Structure 1
């Protein structure tokens, strides 16, 4: 987990706490269903930021007897919990609020407070989103932005980007709903906006669940890293056959690598050990995220007895 993702979460948390309070004040004054949904949305986002920070802290715990590979995957567990909360509390409550106002319309008062709060929230949410995207761009590859985001292994960045994008979309929907409601003097538009906000949150939650689930069950490193490792090891003159590298993310910046390698049979045991050490050093130098490497030497018969050269 990078410092960039931590700062992005802190920035999103501060913005959401302030915005949630103002939204609820505006909703209590104007009676807007969309504003209530937006207040719920910002409150859920604030709680989600705290859960991600908790996951980051717990994932840094060192390895122990019960968890010999460390606790890095815990951040993926908490990102899954965040996705579930976005779905249930954010999406579910917003849809419920909209349906409730459709069944029992509330007369809307002066919308000025709604406009002020929504436009101010757009500025804060937009600033948080731009900052997070800049942090993400520092580490992303050469593929398109959305492709790289879907391949990201850092919930501290992709979760914030998804949430802030949903927040901007929700604010736009709320602004249009409030304006239409007052222009036509019909609260149905405001209630419909609340339902649409909920559906946006449900879509984002499903996307986050898919991302977190893949990482939690043991997702491979990105193809450029796997292909790069394969080419690096295969270029070693003493390697006869290299099978496809097996990788798994233990944390956003911690990869487990397992290699099945057939070395050439004219090597001594000492040369074999030296070659393996050289390969491990080269891999860790080129790919610092690869923290643990296991190389299984197959079909090897050294010229000398195993322990005489050591």
Structure 2
């Protein structure tokens, strides 16, 4: 996985979630809190998700084969989609079920000090992980808003880790709210409410991730800014009169396919056209380094001829 894949952020999140999962489960054993159990499952699911992202990044580096002539770069999109499914099925569905069950059959919180201590520890650890994800994302976000970055990023790992860490922090706050209200009021229903809130939150995040990664799986083109750079590079070649039409497709986060029909002068020889195409490809790669697969089809400039 390249640096833009957010490996550092993934590893930071994985380490934090493994430690937090153990702490939360210990707290559940001492308190019997459904919020703590839901958060334990949430952290286990997140740990599995980060392992899937690392696996996807590793498999995407395989060399192209006869069966897959464009390589395996889009495996990173597949594993990001699997993360969304795992987050929903394991995290959200379990938490919603547990919350409804606890509301229907509430129990008092035992040894609440354990729950408060673990939740505070978990918030600190998740905040560190979230800070790492934000720092890495800022290196690639540019002037985009956070919403635009999540929606337009062609590298799925950072948006996934960002949303997971945000969901983890909010989930911890919901768990703290549920446990605190259950201890203050002596009513275990609040613990169930906190658990239900965690489940709904995870479902929302999972749906957002599924929608965004589905779009990447289906195949997204380059951003308008990148397409403009490619068009400018093409039309700056002396032998290229204009771009008749162009299509782009991300074969992976760092690999772009460019296919274009270009207009050439009807007086140009075959050698001049071939030389012009070679120069145009060089200009594209200089302007957009991720444009690694380029197909240019020459055609007569009929508009100029008329």
TM range (shorter): over 0.9
| Cα pair 2:238 2:276 within 8 Å, conserved | no
| Cα separation, 1, equivalents of 2:150 and 2:109 | 40
Deviation at 1:237, TM superposition (A): 4.1
Is residue 174 from structure 1 mapped to residue 175 from structure 2 by the alignment? yes
Structure 1 vs Structure 2 CA RMSD: 1.5
Deviation at 1:109, TM superposition (A): 1.6
| Cα separation, 2, equivalents of 1:278 and 1:132 | 40
| Cα pair 1:262 1:299 within 8 Å, conserved | yes
| Cα separation, 1, equivalents of 2:227 and 2:186 | 59
| Cα separation, 2, equivalents of 1:146 and 1:117 | 31
Write the mapping of 1:248-267 to structure 2, written as runs, cut at 5 A.
248-267=249-268
Q: Which runs of 5+ in 2 are unaligned?
A: none
Q: Secondary structure at the match of 1:18?
A: helix
| Cα separation, 2, equivalents of 1:137 and 1:248 | 25
Is residue 142 from structure 1 mapped to residue 133 from structure 2 by the alignment? no
Write the mapping of 1:274-289 to structure 2, written as runs, cut at 5 A.
274-289=275-290
| Cα pair 1:230 1:244 within 8 Å, conserved | no
Partner of 2:72: 71
Partner of 1:82: 83
Deviation at 1:238, TM superposition (A): 3.1
Partner of 2:194: 193
Partner of 2:96: 95
| Cα separation, 2, equivalents of 1:107 and 1:246 | 61
| Cα separation, 1, equivalents of 2:66 and 2:226 | 30
| Cα pair 2:237 2:279 within 8 Å, conserved | no
| Cα separation, 2, equivalents of 1:26 and 1:59 | 38
4+ residue stretches of structure 1 with deviation over 4 A? none
Partner of 1:104: 105
Partner of 1:239: 240
Is residue 216 from structure 1 mapped to residue 217 from structure 2 by the alignment? yes
Is residue 19 from structure 1 mapped to residue 20 from structure 2 by the alignment? yes
Per-residue deviation, residues 257-303 of structure 1 (Å, max 9, x unmatched): 111111122222222111111111111111111111111111279xx
| Cα separation, 2, equivalents of 1:47 and 1:153 | 22
Q: Which runs of 5+ in 1 are unaligned?
A: 302-310
TM-score (norm 1): 0.93
Q: Secondary structure at the match of 1:239?
A: coil
Partner of 1:3: 3
Deviation at 1:181, TM superposition (A): 1.2
Partner of 1:304: none
| Cα pair 2:239 2:272 within 8 Å, conserved | no
| Cα separation, 2, equivalents of 1:300 and 1:64 | 37
Deviates more, 1:227-236 or 1:192-201: 227-236
| Cα pair 1:94 1:198 within 8 Å, conserved | yes
| Cα separation, 2, equivalents of 1:91 and 1:137 | 29
| Cα pair 1:23 1:38 within 8 Å, conserved | yes
Q: Secondary structure at the match of 1:70?
A: coil
Aligned residues: 301
TM-score (norm 2): 0.95
Query: In structure 2, do the counterparts of structure 1 residues 165 and 244 end up closer, same or farther at CA, with 3 Å as the change threshold?
Result: farther
Is residue 56 from structure 1 mapped to residue 48 from structure 2 by the alignment? no
Q: Secondary structure at the match of 1:266?
A: coil
Deviation at 1:232, TM superposition (A): 2.4
| Cα pair 1:177 1:190 within 8 Å, conserved | yes
| Cα separation, 2, equivalents of 1:151 and 1:157 | 12
